[in-house]
Each structure stands twice: as structure tokens, then as C-alpha cells.
């Protein structure tokens, strides 16, 4: 363990990088903690503190822990998760302030809906120019269809739909289970 490790990892059971960019474990936990960690906030499967190790920064994929604070367990290696991908094409004339409110509203859903284990979003930056007017992409991750099925009728989701609906020209939704080669 390098000398930066104790300072680097003093914030809890999460794995992190030292100032030189070298991954280090929490003092006393050994190399197994960070065997596969690639960046700040990404925890390795098998960490003893799985229930809260990835409260910040992890993406919910099978080799990373779930992002949600207090998650009962991290996503196990090889476990399929359900991705709910949502693309928005806003109506002409939708203000940036309205778009910002919509993004903020969508981003707050994981705090309100327990079945969401991860959430990411971004805007189109493709050089292929095939977005067909869709500018914003959102990926909501659930452990399974049961999680998604409890999300769709959830009052917080319904309230968000009311907020975004008047501003959408088109919406595209695709759900899929993750698969690894």
C-alpha cells in the first residue's frame, strides 16, 4: 500500500485513487477491496461494506456497486439488470430554463423511487448525426421488471410525466436486460 493510501481512503469503505492516480484500498482492508476499481467511488464486488460502499459515483453495472445509499446489496457479478432508456426530443420553443427544470426533475426521481438503483443522463454528442432530433438521453436502472413496474405508476414518476409532457415533441423508450459477452 503506498503512503498516500491512508489519506486517500480515509472517507470510508469506498475505493479511491491517490493523488498520483493509483487505486488504493481503505487502510486495513487490503488489496481485495480495490482489485477492480477504476476510479473514485467505484467499489469492488465482495467489499465487506457493500450495503453502503457505493452511495456515490458507481454506475450500477454488474462489477460495480449500486449507487443508492442504503442499498441492500451490491449488484452481483454477472447479475442482469434492467435498463430503462428514455430519449427526449423537445418541442421547438422550449426554453433552456424549462429543459433544466425537466432534467432536474428526472434527476430527483432516484431519491423518491426506491426501485431505481442507478440513474444517468446526458445530451447528444454523436458525430454520426443520426439522433433524429432527440437531444437528451436518460438511463434508469432497475434490478428487474418488478422494480420498473413499481416505478411506472409511482406518484413521483406520474408527477414528472405531467411536468415533461407539454414540452415533448417525441419520446422514445427502450427497456432491456444487460448482457455480457
Query: Tell me: the pLDDT tens digits for 4-15?
Result: 333 334 444 444
Per residue in 170-179, pLDDT (tens digit) is 999 999 999 9
Cell numbers of 6, please? 491512508
Whole-model pTM? 0.61
Percent of the chain with pLDDT over 90: 54
- List, for residues 32-66, the tens digit of each pLDDT value: 444 433 333 334 334 434 433 443 344 443 333 44
Q: How far apart are the first and last CA of the chain?
A: 33
Residue listed under C-alpha cell 447479475 = 79
- Angle in degrees, CA 141, 147, 167, rounded to 5: 65
Domains of the chain with CATH codes: 12-77 (no CATH), 82-177 (3.30.70.100)
In degrees rounded to 5, what are phi and psi of residue 170?
-145, 155
Distance CA 95, CA 118 (A): 28
Whether 93 has a pLDDT exceeding 80, the answer reads: yes
The rounded Cα 92 to chain-centroid distance in angstroms is: 29
pLDDT single digits (tens) 70-84: 343 444 445 799 999
Which stretch of 57-61, 85-89, 122-126, 135-139 has the lowest confidence by average pLDDT?
57-61
Amino acid at each position: 500500500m503506498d503512503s498516500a493510501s491512508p489519506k486517500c481512503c480515509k472517507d470510508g469503505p469506498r475505493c479511491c485513487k491517490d493523488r498520483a492516480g493509483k487505486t488504493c484500498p481503505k487502510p486495513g482492508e487490503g488489496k481485495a477491496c480495490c482489485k477492480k476499481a477504476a476510479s473514485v467511488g467505484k467499489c469492488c464486488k465482495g467489499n465487506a461494506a457493500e450495503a453502503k460502499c457505493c452511495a456515490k459515483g458507481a454506475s450500477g453495472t454488474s462489477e460495480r456497486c449500486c449507487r443508492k445509499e442504503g442499498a441492500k446489496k451490491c449488484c452481483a457479478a454477472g447479475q442482469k439488470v434492467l435498463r430503462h432508456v428514455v430519449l427526449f426530443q423537445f418541442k421547438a420553443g422550449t426554453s433552456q430554463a424549462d429543459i433544466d427544470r425537466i432534467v432536474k426533475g428526472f434527476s430527483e426521481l432516484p431519491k423518491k423511487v426506491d426501485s431505481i438503483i442507478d440513474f444517468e443522463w446526458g445530451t447528444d454528442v454523436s458525430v454520426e448525426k443520426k439522433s433524429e432530433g432527440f437531444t437528451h438521453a436518460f438511463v434508469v436502472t432497475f434490478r428487474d421488471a418488478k422494480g420498473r413496474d413499481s416505478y411506472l405508476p409511482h406518484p413521483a414518476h406520474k408527477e414528472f410525466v405531467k411536468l415533461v409532457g407539454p414540452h415533448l415533441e417525441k419520446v422514445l423508450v427502450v427497456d432491456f436486460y444487460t448482457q455480457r459477452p
